[in-house]
């Protein structure tokens, strides 16, 4: 059975509205996470993207759990990224 597609507007919305930003040290990409309505339920969705001064290129999008985020932070795979021009800390 085929899964319903993620609407084209969702990745850009996550990029613009996310206040949870991370850096993936394995893929060397930026990560943004936002809770969105998908298939009639609220889910955390992440995008991985490359950022240049001129543009952001979204590479992938998929659901993610809070436990997955915490494990990636604990393992050092992800670190907190910049949000609104400020570096977030783990405190």
* pLDDT band at residue 11 under the 50/70/90 scheme: very high
The pLDDT of 38-60, averaged and rounded, is: 94
Q: How far is CA 90 from the centre of its chain?
A: 17
Q: Is 10 helix (H, G, I), strand (E, B) or coil?
A: helix
CA–CA gap between residue 41 and residue 57 (Å, rounded): 27
Percent of the chain with pLDDT over 90: 75
pTM of the model: 0.84
Share of residues in the chain with pLDDT > 70 (%):
85
The pLDDT tens digits of the residues spanning 62-78 come to 999 999 999 999 999 99
């Amino acid at each position: 059975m085929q899964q319903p597609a993620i609407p084209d507007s969702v990745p850009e919305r996550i990029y613009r509205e996310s206040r949870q930003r991370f850096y993936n040290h394995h893929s060397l990409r930026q990560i943004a996470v936002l809770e969105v309505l998908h298939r009639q339920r609220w889910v955390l969705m992440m995008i991985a993207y490359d950022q240049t001064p001129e543009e952001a290129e979204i590479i992938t999008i998929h659901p993610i759990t809070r436990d997955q985020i915490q494990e990636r932070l604990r393992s050092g795979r992800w670190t907190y990224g910049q949000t609104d021009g400020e570096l977030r800390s783990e405190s």
